[in-house]
Amino acid sequence: MRCPTETPQSVEILLAYVSNSLEGEQASEVAAHAAACPDCQAFTRAQNAVSQALDRWEAPPVSLDFDRQLYQRIEQEVSWWDLVLRPFRPMMGSRTLPVAAGSDQDFRDQLAFDLG
Ligand SMILES: [Zn+2]
């Protein structure tokens, strides 16, 4: 048997072996290989350590006002679209743009006034 740690596809077989979800001849074949392969032994030890750590881990309790805090944060979040449009927001829906377009005439009027 080729070592399952050599390819990502066959590592799934080793994961199945570690979680005792392999059956029959395949389970026997992987068990025989793992018994003689240092790489597979290291993999199964590490995987068992992760499994045991996860078994001992307890998720912290969810606070009673979790939903309220979550929705409050969602409302406070600014979308990327708002960030993109924010610099242009003063021009949108206001008279800034027509005034800016007319500023050239305003400048000439001001220049004519200054020059007399
Ligand atoms: Zn191996």
Q: How far is CA 91 from CA 81, 86, 95, 99, in A?
A: 16, 10, 7, 10
Q: Kindly report the three-state secondary structure assignment for every residue of the chain.
A: CCCHHHCHHHHHHHHHHHCCCCCHHHHHHHHHHHHHCHHHHHHHHHHHHHHHHHHHCCCCCCCCCHHHHHHHHHHHCCCHHHHHHHHHHHHCCCCHHHHHHCHHHHHHHHHHHHHC
Distance from the CA of 43 to the center of ligand 1, in angstroms? 9
Distance from the CA of 71 to the center of ligand 1, in angstroms? 49
pTM (two decimals): 0.51
Cα 51 from Cα 43, distance rounded (Å): 12
Distance from the CA of 54 to the center of ligand 1, in angstroms? 25
Distance from the CA of 47 to the center of ligand 1, in angstroms? 14
pLDDT mean for each 10 residues of the chain (116 residues): 86 91 93 94 94 92 91 82 79 55 58 54
Cα 87 from Cα 91, distance rounded (Å): 9
Which pLDDT score is estimated for 7?
85
The answer to whether the beta carbons of residues 14 and 4 sit under 8 Å apart is yes
Which pLDDT score is estimated for 73?
86
